[in-house]
Amino acid sequence: MDSSVHLRLRGIVKKFGDFTALDGVSLDIMEGEFFTIVGPSGSGKSTLIRLLVGMDELTEGEIRLHDQRIDQTPANKRPTCMVFQSLALFPHMTVGQNIEFPLKLRKEAPEARRARAEELLDLLRLPLSYYDKRISQCSGGEKQRVALARALAFDPEILFFDEPLSALDYRLRKTLEKELKDLHARTGKTFVYITHSLEEAMVMSDRIAIMREGKFEQIAVADEIYSAPVSRFVAEFMGEVNLFALTAGASGAPESDVLTTRDGVRLESLSPGDRGLLMVRPEYMRFAEDGDVDFSISGKLHGEYALGSRIQYEIETKNGMVTVEKLREDRFTVTEGQDVTVGFDRDNTHFISEAT
């Protein structure tokens, strides 16, 4: 086993009666990595993390930590810890007592427990005066930090997170995303994070795994998944996207029933006979005069929507609705129902073969 591989999964299967929740999942998570698993409801991500922490048993496969099998090791004997969405803090205890709880279970001396709790308060950037503060008096963000401090008190090799920020308001969630990323860097621990939020995954992760129907659809760094998805599912799951059916003629030139292609345009990823989807993200689309872009399509403006610093336009075309996104300062003056031509250049596209 590669010495830098911290956690290795091979052929993981989990069945509930006739239903297969996980279907042959294999994965290597590296030492010190921030690894995030994203997927729609029912994709199997929560089932997977329950197996990793020992809350459920495998149907098939094995889990290895530093090349030692742990899938048959009880949860309380594994060098891992879980931070739940519900946090599971003890409301009748103080902040310090919550943080010290795992140390008390290990029968560590009170002085050592106190010293470790204060060290963790400092690490999580909470005042030392919070040691005696009741959990019920803490804000949502403070409770999140206490839950993290308690998890770190175990000194686990790996921290697992099951959607810990999903119940928080947007502003606090964005703050804690940055704090979690910073905490990961300062501790050097391996973090395995489950979320349905693409924003969380993109902000914090070293790598992202997209789950679909009990399998991994793609595992890569965030930029690669966003710009070069392996399938239509991943392309659409990773945000707004425009997809156009495309084939390659005998010469390898792109051919489309909906796009007008500038003479001489070629795509390096196309070979004669290839069929699939040409993907372009809305931020790479632009309003254009005929011939001003490599690929173009005409239609009528359906709507204009303000999205903070960005403006999104929807154009009704023979390919369905096409989305164009521009920065507010680059706003394009159009009116609903107006005939427009939009397009994009080949360097801003990604071809998804229908074989995938």
Domain boundaries in the chain? 5-227, 240-353
Give me the numbers of helices (H) and strands (E) for the chain, helices first please.
8, 20
Token pair recorded at residue 124:
């999580």
Token pair recorded at residue 128:
């030392």
In terms of C-beta density within 10 A (0-12 exposed, 13-18 middle, 19 or more buried), how is residue 169 classed? exposed
What are the phi and psi torsion angles at 308 (to 5°)?
70, -115
Burial per residue of 282-300, b for 16 or more beta-carbon CB atoms within 10 angstroms, e otherwise? bbbbbbbeeeebbbbbbbe
pLDDT at 251: 81
| Cβ atoms of 332 and 287 closer than 8 Å | yes
Token pair recorded at residue 325:
């996104």
Report which of 288, 330, 328 is spatially closest to residue 311, judged by C-alpha positions. 328
Report the C-alpha gap between 43 and 196 in whole angstroms. Answer: 10
Report the C-alpha gap between 279 and 22 in whole angstroms. Answer: 29
**Tell me: the pLDDT tens digits for 97-126?**
999 998 998 899 999 999 999 999 999 989
CATH topology for 5-227 is Rossmann fold (3.40.50)
| Cβ atoms of 342 and 322 closer than 8 Å | yes
- The superfamily CATH assigns to domain 240-353 is Nucleic acid-binding proteins (2.40.50.140)
Instruction: Kindly indicate the confidence band of residue 92, based on its pLDDT and cuts at 50, 70 and 90.
Output: confident
Token pair recorded at residue 67:
């090349």
pTM of the prediction?
Answer: 0.89
**Tell me: the pLDDT tens digits for 280-332?**
999 999 998 767 899 999 999 999 999 889 999 999 999 999 999 999 888 88
